[in-house]
Amino acid sequence: MKNQGLGSWIHRRRRKSADRAALIFQGRRIGYPELDERINRLAQALRSFGVEHGSRVAFLGDNHPAFLETFFAAGTLGAVFVPLNTRLAPPEIRFALQDSGSSVLVYTGALAELARLGSTGTPVAVRLAVADGGTEHGGQELEGGSDGTDVDGETLDFDAVIAGASPDRLDVPVGGEDGAMILYTSGTTGQPKGALLTHANLAWNCYNVLVDYDLSGSEIGLMISPMFHVASLDMGVLPVLLKGGTVVLETRFDPARTLAAIEQYSATYISGVPTTFQMLCEHPDWDKRDISSLSTMTCGGSAVPLRVLEAYEARGLSFSNGYGMTETAPGATALPADRSREKAGSAGLPHFFTDVRITSPDGEVLGAGEVGEVQISGPNVIASYWNRPDATAEAYAQEGWFRSGDMGYFDDDGFLFISDRLKDMIISGGENIYPAEVEQAIAQLEAVAAVAVIGVPDDKWGEVPRAVISLREGYTLTAEEVQQHLFGRLARYKVPRTVLMVQDFPRTASGKIRKADLRRLYSD
């Protein structure tokens, strides 16, 4: 087989697991043979649209079989898959499509308007609409494209296109170092950048998961987190499919539905963020559902609160907490479940095929207990950002170590603890928010003299953004006006929940705002 990338995985698994269900979606079981045939047909259709090795194919939608069909079909052709966050605003979608040069956009029907507005004026020439599944766009008001007109190109029915294509499998040469996926992350300068993950990056992360979490071929993985985040896709879906297990796709996270699904399908594996696990154990159905089938629970984004840890321990369950980022595909470290109490607050040990070190500002490797920058190396770490040599050069230290921008230290046993985020990133319900991006949007308001965005504690989401603003003389501005300005320009989760007006900011001698002092003053 010429295709050595992920695009061949379902075909290879079909040979060994023809009698197993690969996916379960809305109660329907999809076997490996059926999934393989649909991927083959979609790959044939994409090729007829001009997609070839190196082309980019985007997907906008909630968890749905079409997401994986598009991912694997793109991989079959050696094309690059571009998953889009459904919570983004049209201008953010438009940027990703333009920057990636995606020529095909697949979207679920409930997001048709976001797809239309977001693809206006982009290289997208063909749109494939998935009729079923998906949710509305969170009630967010959507602003139109630059000219308000309908998009160019053709829009076709996804299932009709698959039905009309040949089922013959294409075998295109694809190697491990070929690009598999571009994931857009907000940058510290406010300019999103695309992390280019190769087939090897994704595969090696899967190997780390299989080794460190000991997944089996009988795994039933319940996916409650959106697959447009690499954590759900490469820590959950892909490892389970690689082993020949079954992935149960939930369109979106709902605590009651999740608890019921664990019981209904006897789910063994689930991954999420602290907020989702907290919402599960605080739901009225928590004590009514049988969740004893769970054997592996992975959690990332931040440490699991003690009260949540205790709620699961009372039912004989424990977490494997972890640390990582998009650029590490995403796993860097994992805390063994049996050490979750002993090493509470730790991000764990480096994954099996991944190395982590702590360095000083001048590059010296530090010892146990010394705080420095967390740097990561391994075959799961990306080599570059899409069309961003500047960002790529800044992201790596000597000998190819990726600079996470996070501060941390190792204890005497080699367990990693994250002590601070050097880049001031806010993690809200598992979503990364870079203050610079929000600050730039607020600064467009004429009344704003200066602005800084910080994260403040929140019982539900872990933390949420707060904007601190000083006004130009003679101007007025309300919190509501700031929020309304941002709605439609930024994803709703990035919009500050609270806005404070101040006379001035704590600053350095050079005039830079002291974010640490700002958090101390205004985080309460």
The Cα–Cα gap between 337 and 298 comes to 9
Higher pLDDT among residues 449 and 478, named by residue: 478
CB 524 within 8 A of CB 498: no
pLDDT of residue 149: 37
Q: What is the mean pLDDT of residues 83-99?
A: 96
DSSP H/E element including 384: strand 384-385
The Cα–Cα gap between 294 and 291 comes to 6
Report residue 142's pLDDT band, with 50, 70 and 90 as the boundaries.
low
Q: Which residues pair with 452 in a beta bridge?
A: 468
Q: What is the pLDDT of residues 473-489, one digit of tens each?
A: 899 999 999 999 999 99
pLDDT of residue 59: 98
Average pLDDT score, the chain:
92
Report residue 120's pLDDT band, with 50, 70 and 90 as the boundaries.
very high
pLDDT of residue 140: 45
pLDDT of residue 139: 40
Q: What is the mean pLDDT of residues 438-448?
A: 89
CATH 3.40.50.12780 positions along the chain are 200-357
Q: Which CATH class is domain 426-522?
A: alpha beta
Report residue 308's pLDDT band, with 50, 70 and 90 as the boundaries.
confident
pLDDT of residue 146: 37
pLDDT of residue 337: 92
Q: Which residues pair with 376 in a beta bridge?
A: 356, 402
Fold classified for 200-357? Rossmann fold (3.40.50)
The span from the first CA to the last CA of the chain, in angstroms, equals 59
Q: Which residues pair with 265 in a beta bridge?
A: none
Higher pLDDT among residues 514 and 316, named by residue: 316
| Secondary structure of 138-168 in HEC code, one letter for each residue | CCCCCCCCCCCCCCCCEEEEHHHHHHCCCCC
Cα–Cα distance list, 146 to 14, 28, 149, 151, 419 (Å): 46, 41, 8, 11, 43
Higher pLDDT among residues 266 and 152, named by residue: 266
CB 378 within 8 A of CB 354: yes
We find that the CATH architecture of domain 6-175 is: 3-Layer(aba) Sandwich (3.40)
pLDDT of residue 273: 86
The Cα–Cα gap between 341 and 329 comes to 27
Tell me whether strands 320-324 and 331-334 are parallel, antiparallel or unpaired: antiparallel
For the chain, percent of residues with pLDDT exceeding 90: 77
CB 81 within 8 A of CB 6: no
- DSSP E strand stretches across 386-461: 402-410, 416-421, 426-428, 431-433, 448-458
User: Which structure tokens are listed for 360?
Assistant: 């000083």
pLDDT of residue 48: 98
Short-list 257, 302, 298, CA closest to 275: 302
CATH 3.30.300.30 positions along the chain are 426-522
Q: What is the pLDDT of residues 187-242, one digit of tens each?
A: 555 678 999 999 999 999 999 999 999 999 999 999 999 999 999 999 999 999 99
Which residues make Cβ contacts (< 8 Å) with residue 293, sequence separation at least 6? Answer: 220, 262, 263, 266, 267, 268
CATH 3.40.50.980 positions along the chain are 6-175
